[in-house]
């Protein structure tokens, strides 16, 4: 609906449904959408995105290729195509992407940036790291101008998140929650730290229905009025408790996923409201994914985040943000104790059974062989890790930054200046 209540067209409704994970509804709307007011290429791109997030990679590629043929100037289309395959095993597609530079040269800055990232992915797959890094850096420079990172705002949000919280205060808040609230499983950590991999393993369990980057606690934050302990205390004083917040969150889960099964919530930036989440949902297991900082930095730098992660365009800004996250993890560990389980990505990949067994025990789930298999492979995945999420345990993510170590020296220097350690 538009602001004045007039229904939007099927294309806009389909895009909104896809964004919120309602892929069947999005598919139906996109099937009946016409290119009136938009281009056929844009419609094909939307259909490709829906197919990709549904796990239908062959269909997704067909739609993205149709979008490319309809309008070869859309840089996002090349990025989508590059993400679908190892370009070393798809030389014809790699050639199409490499030869499109002139076609995208007059596009808007966002599409030009996306195309640079597509080139970076392609050249990385083709074992041309120097050229790959240059293309990614070119795209990052464009995005840094379009969406600059505010270090002060990021630091302020991190500081307010922990202000006033300690274990006793969280426990006192939690005593006013009466609702049965052990349905959610919170998985947090830096982007590209393995949160999607862990989510995909958990949703294979028979007791877990689904999961995604839900961003539903943001609704509660608006009700509370801030992310600190004082904000939650003022809300409690106004309403006489915080059980209404727990019921609101659980209702949002039910509206999205129905009533059955546990739900994995791996929303971005959960580190910035972890104290409130722990207080409002005292029955929810909390998990923090951690990854080698150099590997994590490279993975973030080479990923084209469409929105919300403006610190990823600069190595120095990545170092600054990681420093803030390190401090938050240190503080939350001290406050939450065993309630917060720390899982290393490298352990999850290399010692999968032992590490996952610990995760299942933490989540109060019995061990099942399905967790290590291929179950629920066509469920919704809407993150930058969507293609890896469709594969077996993704061991290619280990030690990928080594050949870029020299080019990543600005990150290493900045991160060490903040007191961080690099192996």
User: What is the chain's percent helix, strand, coil content, to nearest 5?
Assistant: 60, 5, 35
Pairing of strands 184-189, 262-265: parallel
Residue 98 sits in a domain whose CATH number is 1.25.40.10
- Asked whether 113 and 139 are in contact (CB, 8 A), the reply is yes
Residue 186 sits in a domain whose CATH number is 3.40.50.300
Residues 229 and 339 in one domain: yes
Pairing of strands 340-344, 208-212: unpaired
Per-residue pLDDT in tens (0 to 9) along the chain, 423 residues: 333 433 356 667 766 666 666 667 666 666 666 655 578 898 899 889 899 988 899 999 999 999 999 999 999 999 999 999 999 999 999 999 999 999 999 999 999 999 999 999 999 999 999 999 999 999 999 999 999 999 999 999 999 999 999 999 999 999 999 988 999 999 999 999 999 999 999 999 999 999 998 889 999 999 999 999 999 999 999 998 999 999 999 999 999 999 999 999 998 899 999 999 999 999 999 999 999 999 999 999 999 998 889 999 999 999 999 999 999 999 999 999 999 999 999 999 999 999 999 999 999 999 999 998 765 554 455 554 455 544 555 555 577 898 999 999 999 999 999 999 997
pTM of the model: 0.89
The CA angle 285-291-297, to the nearest 5 degrees, is 130
Q: Is residue 363 in a domain? A: yes
> Using CA of residue 306, residue 311, residue 314, residue 315, what is the dihedral sign?
negative
165: helix, strand or coil: coil
Domain with 116, as residue range(s), is 10-146
Assigned token pair, 85: 């395959």
Q: For the chain, what is the domain count?
A: 2
Residues with Cβ within 8 Å of 355's Cβ and at least 6 positions away in sequence, in order, are 343, 344, 347, 348
244: helix, strand or coil: helix
Query: Residue 203's pLDDT is what?
Result: 95
Q: Is residue 2 in a domain? A: no
Q: Is residue 284 in a domain? A: yes
Distance CA 37, CA 281 (A): 45
Q: Out of 146, 172, 190, pick the residue that ends a domain.
A: 146
Assigned token pair, 161: 């998140």
Residues 227 and 373 in one domain: yes
Whole-number Cα distances in Å, 39 to 45, 66, 78, 79, 92 = 10, 12, 17, 19, 26
Residues 141 and 191 in one domain: no
CA nearest neighbour of 280 among 223, 334, 333, 209: 223
Query: Residue 26's pLDDT is what?
Result: 62
Distance CA 416, CA 396 (A): 26
4: helix, strand or coil: coil
Residues 377 and 257 in one domain: yes
Residues 35 and 125 in one domain: yes
- Asked whether 371 and 356 are in contact (CB, 8 A), the reply is yes
Residues 141 and 246 in one domain: no
Q: Is residue 83 in a domain? A: yes
Residues 67 and 199 in one domain: no
Residues with Cβ within 8 Å of 210's Cβ and at least 6 positions away in sequence, in order, are 203, 257, 261, 263, 264, 379, 380
Q: Is residue 1 in a domain? A: no
Helix (H) or strand (E) holding 158: helix 151-162
Q: Out of 146, 161, 182, pick the residue that ends a domain.
A: 146
Tracing tokens 């016409």 back to the chain, one arrives at: 34
Residues 231 and 102 in one domain: no
Q: Is residue 4 in a domain? A: no
Distance CA 321, CA 313 (A): 12
Query: Residue 408's pLDDT is what?
Result: 97
Helix (H) or strand (E) holding 264: strand 262-265
Residues 25 and 160 in one domain: no
Residues 62 and 205 in one domain: no
CA nearest neighbour of 350 among 291, 279, 285, 273: 291
For the chain, give the longest Cα–Cα distance: 64
Q: Taking the CA of residue 154 as centre, how many other CA atoms within 13 Å lie in the half-sphere pointing to its CB?
A: 21
Q: Is residue 343 in a domain? A: yes
Assigned token pair, 343: 């899982």
Kindly write down the DSSP assignment for every residue of 73-109, as one continuous string: T-HHHHHHHHHHS-GGG-HHHHHHHHTTHHHHTTS-H
Q: Out of 122, 146, 170, pick the residue that ends a domain.
A: 146
Q: Is residue 399 in a domain? A: yes
383 phi/psi in degrees, rounded to 5: -100, 175
Residues 280 and 327 in one domain: yes
Assigned token pair, 50: 């829906």
Residues 129 and 227 in one domain: no
């Amino acid at each position: 609906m538009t602001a004045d209540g007039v229904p939007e067209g099927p294309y806009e409704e389909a895009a909104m449904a896809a964004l919120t994970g309602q892929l069947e509804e999005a598919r139906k709307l996109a099937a009946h959408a016409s290119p009136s007011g938009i281009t056929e290429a844009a419609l094909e791109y939307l259909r490709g995105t829906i197919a990709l997030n549904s796990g239908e990679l062959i269909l997704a590629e067909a739609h993205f290729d149709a979008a490319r043929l309809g309008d070869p100037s859309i840089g996002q289309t090349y990025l989508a195509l590059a993400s679908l395959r190892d370009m070393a095993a798809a030389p014809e597609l790699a050639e199409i992407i490499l030869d499109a530079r002139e076609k995208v040269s007059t596009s808007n800055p966002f599409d030009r940036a996306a195309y640079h990232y597509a080139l970076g992915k392609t050249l990385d797959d083709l074992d041309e790291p120097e050229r790959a890094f240059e293309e990614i850096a070119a795209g990052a420079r464009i995005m840094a101008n379009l969406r600059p990172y505010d270090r002060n705002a990021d630091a302020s949000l991190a500081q307010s998140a922990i202000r006033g919280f300690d274990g006793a205060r969280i426990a006192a808040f939690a005593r006013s929650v009466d609702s049965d609230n052990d349905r959610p499983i919170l998985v947090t950590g830096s982007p590209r730290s393995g949160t999607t991999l862990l989510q995909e393993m958990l949703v294979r369990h028979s007791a877990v229905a689904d999961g995604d980057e839900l961003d539903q606690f943001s609704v509660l934050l608006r009700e509370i009025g801030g992310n600190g302990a004082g904000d939650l205390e003022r809300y409690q004083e106004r309403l006489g408790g915080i059980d209404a917040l727990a019921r609101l969150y659980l209702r949002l889960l039910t509206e999205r996923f129905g009533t059955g099964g546990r739900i994995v919530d791996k929303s971005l930036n959960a580190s910035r409201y972890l104290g409130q989440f722990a207080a409002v949902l005292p029955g929810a297991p909390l998990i923090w994914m951690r990854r080698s900082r150099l590997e994590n930095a490279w993975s973030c730098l080479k990923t084209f985040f469409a929105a919300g992660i403006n610190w990823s365009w600069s190595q120095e800004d990545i170092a600054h943000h990681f420093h803030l996250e390190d401090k938050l993890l240190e503080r939350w560990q001290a406050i939450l104790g065993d309630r917060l389980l720390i899982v290393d990505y490298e352990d999850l990949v290399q010692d999968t059974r032992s590490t996952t067994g610990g995760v299942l025990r933490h989540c109060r789930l019995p061990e099942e062989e399905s967790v290590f298999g291929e179950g629920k492979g066509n469920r919704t995945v809407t993150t930058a890790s969507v293609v890896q999420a469709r594969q077996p345990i993704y061991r290619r993510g280990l030690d990928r930054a080594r050949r870029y170590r020299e080019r990543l020296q600005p990150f290493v220097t900045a991160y060490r200046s903040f007191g961080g350690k690099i192996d």
